[in-house]
Structure 1
């Protein structure tokens, strides 16, 4: 493994949202701790399941321990999520990179629902992407390849010609299974917990220039040989 400056040429950029563009860790933890308290579930166990996964899938894993139907628990959880965004902030480099991108060729691919994702991005001051794939758009969430395959299709691109920028093991597994190249950000996990083609601390290390194709420069990139 070496440390250097790397240039990656691709047709499309696919960004995860939480942990890549925005920091909603405090808000996410608060909402899941509330969920755990409603149904007398161990909060730390719940939190260990959630990163990079759809909330519906997390709640479904507890269906046999819930006193209400999972759909009812899901609706209550979403209502709690959209009630308070005071702790949502934009991550370093995200606003600058997003503002420099063209009006096509990139997407946000998130495990969050559309209503929660749109509210969190707005709270962080980020404009809506040209394409957004949420938990509402996929039959199966990350780590299944469906989210990134669908995003590539929506952009009319080959997954192999897309760079996925992710921070979670589940998200990177989804991207690899879809056939995409990957850039792992070390915003929420240590490098040894992630399996990516390239790594960067955060989006402050990343630049993207579009001229028919994206030329993505990662400063201080750490790459597996």
Structure 2
């Protein structure tokens, strides 16, 4: 992480907004097992399909395929059931639990494309407590890259989206954060290739040092600096 090109250092924020899969937890193996099985069932090229489905609501992923005779809602429910059953290997991203634990409870939220039942299951499997504020697939009309989820989370926290920092791992989520007017950090822990953006990136939350002032305002520094 290049501290010279990381404008987030030294800025103050009122809240941090986190994507879940790939950002707070590593669920990529479980996700791809379930979606790979679904893709094979429908005759898709699994290798080509899997990179396209990360970071989006299941119903949006399926609807975009325009498969004949397919009800995206019912198919998304089938995939969701499979994902709830399969949480093998789901773990927290390095340093995430301690980082979240240092945040005031009313100063952060999760904004995920997963349904609430799956979010609860995966967070529990990774040892992350459900936050006070969470926005899931059921809460929005349009999923990422729409900013709706991040705008809703900021509203629920009672903060200006422009005073928020979004943590994301894939292009759809990064665009959602940008469109919400928030700052963005890209978490690269689970992807061989990170999305090409103008934003800073981290592989571990141990790379960050958090400061919280008496009024709850948040500031980040690089862990290696004083």
- Normalized against structure 2, the TM-score is what? 0.89
In the alignment, structure 2 segments of 5+ residues that lack a partner are none
- Distance in 1, matches of 2:11 and 2:204, equals 16
Q: Identify which range, 162-171 or 33-42, moves more after superposition.
A: 33-42
- 2:101 match: 99
- 2:51 match: 48
- 1:166 match: 168
- 1:197 match: 199
Higher normalized strand content (fraction of residues): 1
Match among 4, 22, 33 for residue 19 of structure 1:
22
The number of residues matched between the two structures is 219
Match among 138, 141, 144 for residue 142 of structure 1:
144
- Distance in 2, matches of 1:27 and 1:196, equals 30
Structure 1 residue 118, shift from structure 2 partner: 1.0
Q: 3-state SS of the aligned residue for 2:154?
A: helix
Structure 1 residue 117, shift from structure 2 partner: 0.9
Spell out the pairing of 1:1-225 with structure 2 (5 A cutoff): 2-3=2-3, 6-65=9-68, 67-187=69-189, 188=191, 190-191=193-194, 193-211=195-213, 212=215, 213-219=217-223
Q: 3-state SS of the aligned residue for 1:64?
A: coil
Checking the alignment, whether the CA contact within 8 Å between 1:184 and 1:194 is kept in structure 2 is no
- Distance in 1, matches of 2:202 and 2:224, equals 7
Structure 1 residue 72, shift from structure 2 partner: 1.8
Checking the alignment, whether the CA contact within 8 Å between 1:138 and 1:146 is kept in structure 2 is yes
The C-alpha deviation readout for 1:64-115, integer Å capped at 9, x for no partner, is 33x4422221121111111121120111000111111212111011111111
- Normalized against structure 1, the TM-score is what? 0.90
Q: Identify which range, 86-95 or 69-78, moves more after superposition.
A: 69-78
Structure 1 residues 48 and 197: CA distance shift in structure 2, 3 A: closer
Q: 3-state SS of the aligned residue for 2:219?
A: strand
Structure 1 residue 189, shift from structure 2 partner: 5.3
In the alignment, structure 1 segments of 5+ residues that lack a partner are none
Structure 1 residues 3 and 101: CA distance shift in structure 2, 3 A: closer
Structure 1 residue 3, shift from structure 2 partner: 3.6
Structure 1 residue 20, shift from structure 2 partner: 1.3
Q: 3-state SS of the aligned residue for 2:11?
A: strand
